[in-house]
Amino acid sequence: MTEGKAPGDCLVVVGGGQAAAQLVEVARQNGFAGQITLVSDEEFLPYQRPPLSKQYLNGVHDTDWLLYRPREFYSKFRVDALLGRRVEEIDRENRRVKMNDGSILAYDKLALTTGTRARMLEVPGRDLDRIYSIRTIADVERLRPQLPSVKRAVIIGAGFIGLETGAVLTQMGIDVVLLGSSTRLLPRIVAGDMAEFLLDQHLKQGVEVVLNAQVIAIDQQDDGQLTVHVAGGGSYAGDVVLVGIGAIANVELAEACGLQCDNGIVVDEFATTSDPNIVAAGDCTNHPNPLVGRRIRLETVHNAVEQGRTAGATIAGVNLPYIQTPWVWSDQYKFRFQSAGIAEGFDTTVLRGTVGSGKFSVFYYVEGKLLAVSCINQPHIFAAVRRILNGQAELKPEEAADPLFDLSRVQSKMNYLEFDIPWPTKEEKGRRLTWGHD
């Protein structure tokens, strides 16, 4: 950790997710020496959310296992973590924030890593007991004690949260009904063979998958069971209802203080908002991505970590533009799904491998240009294609489809190990032998 002159003396970080932890780490590593205060409305230090619907839900791991950085990190990096506290208001003119207990924190630099919150159902019955979302540790802590007595669960939403939760509950012996509002699973991410594979896997495990299901109401029966009603007359009963229908960016603080917002807090490639003293990172930002060719808002761990890194560097006065190919992963049953790039707008898909083998990849193209890839149990393809997308190298559809075509050669790793200052040559050393013993 480098000590150095800080561009500002006091940094306040609002929000306590992975972006926040990464931001303070990189700010310190790049020489920010001022005071850092991290404010989170959760009772936990920054932790990893993806395991909430996987290893944490099934009870394999405890809360400490989720922590993104160990507790000692915050003392080592001199970060005051104010947990269970909330910033209510940002006063940009006087550079201070007002807390929910009325106290005031002054800042020279402010970082917004406010993340997202689970989107809630807008239907009658949405406030009944035993309707859960899975966004925070507290959400899972509420749900988990119920699970031993749950025989049947209804999951609303066929995105990652819905599918992963469905897989975990099925493996726990719970009957699962999965309601998706689109015509396929993961509608925003995959298509073609990949969508069919995912559907097939869940059906094989006994999940009752209902697509094109528009939820219109939830009610409670006399026996206590919840019933989810969908348009067209279908009803699905369960002991609990889990809702995974997306997330909403927490931009209210930013909007209220006049920062530019448009489907997220608008930032540039250095994570700087419309106020040069305020950076923002993670799920809550709308940021430019030259590799994708437009502004995007992402709800991924990669985005939180990497944009957090950029924001931390900016705080320390170092330019580290955030220009990376988006990627996601998901573990369900015994397969690992990995996706790089954004497939939206594709006109062609190319299959590499065979779906039946359980190891294959689907490439997404528009007008012959590679947009994205999604892979099942093919991590080497995923990594090679992400490098191709990062390097904006060309990959023809026929090359993508050919299992014998070595994708790793299209965009090689650029590492070449060398000493910054070479050792003296033989001549420089006075014709002395440059090896062996003196």
Partner 1 sequence: MRKQMVFVIDMKRCIGCDTCVVACKVENDVDTGRFRLKVLDSHRDPIFEKPKGNYPELSQHWLPTMCHHCVDAPCVSACPTNTLWRSDDDGLVHLDVDKCIGCQRCDEACPYDALSFDAETGAADKCSACAHRVAEDLAPSCAVVCPTRAIHFGDSLDPESKVSHLLATREHKVLAESRGAKPQIYYLEP
Binding site for partner 1 (CB under 8 A): 1-2, 18, 22, 25-26, 29, 48, 50, 67-70, 72, 76, 301-302, 304-306, 309, 327, 329, 331, 336, 338, 377, 379-380, 382-383, 386-387, 413, 415-421, 423, 425-427, 434-438
Q: Specify the pairing of strand 35-40 against strand 79-83.
A: parallel
CB within 8 Å of 425: residues ≥ 6 apart: 434
End-to-end CA distance of the chain: 38
Tokens of 267: 């930032």
Q: Rank residues 27 and 254 by Cβ distance to partner 1 and give the closer one.
A: 27
Q: Rank residues 1 and 231 by Cβ distance to partner 1 and give the closer one.
A: 1
Smallest gap from residue 23 Cβ to partner 1 (A): 11
Q: Rank residues 28 and 85 by Cβ distance to partner 1 and give the closer one.
A: 28
Q: 132: which strand partners? A: 242
Smallest gap from residue 48 Cβ to partner 1 (A): 6
Q: Rank residues 40 and 378 by Cβ distance to partner 1 and give the closer one.
A: 378
Q: What DSSP line would sit under 129-198, residue for residue?
A: TTEEE-SSHHHHHHHGGGGGG-SEEEEE--SHHHHHHHHHHHHTT-EEEEE-SSSSSSTTT--HHHHHHH
Smallest gap from residue 58 Cβ to partner 1 (A): 14
Q: How far apart are CA 58 and CA 316, in angstroms?
A: 40
Cβ–Cβ < 8 Å for 228, 131 = no
CA distances from 317 to 8, 320, 389 (A): 9, 9, 29
Smallest gap from residue 43 Cβ to partner 1 (A): 20
CB within 8 Å of 174: residues ≥ 6 apart: 147, 150, 151, 152, 153
Q: Rank residues 331 and 344 by Cβ distance to partner 1 and give the closer one.
A: 331
Give the max Cα distance, the chain.
96
How many other C-beta atoms can be found within 10 angstroms of the C-beta atom of residue 438?
Answer: 4
Smallest gap from residue 25 Cβ to partner 1 (A): 7
Smallest gap from residue 430 Cβ to partner 1 (A): 13
Smallest gap from residue 232 Cβ to partner 1 (A): 38
Phi, psi angle pair for 232, to nearest 5°:
100, -5
Q: What DSSP line would sit under 313-376, residue for residue?
A: HHHTT---------EEEEEETTEEEEEEE--TT--EEEEEEEGGGTEEEEEEEETTEEEEEEEE
Q: Rank residues 329 and 333 by Cβ distance to partner 1 and give the closer one.
A: 329
Phi, psi angle pair for 300, to nearest 5°:
-135, 155
Smallest gap from residue 84 Cβ to partner 1 (A): 23
Smallest gap from residue 217 Cβ to partner 1 (A): 38
Q: Rank residues 217 and 318 by Cβ distance to partner 1 and give the closer one.
A: 318
Q: Rank residues 2 and 214 by Cβ distance to partner 1 and give the closer one.
A: 2
Q: Rank residues 404 and 421 by Cβ distance to partner 1 and give the closer one.
A: 421
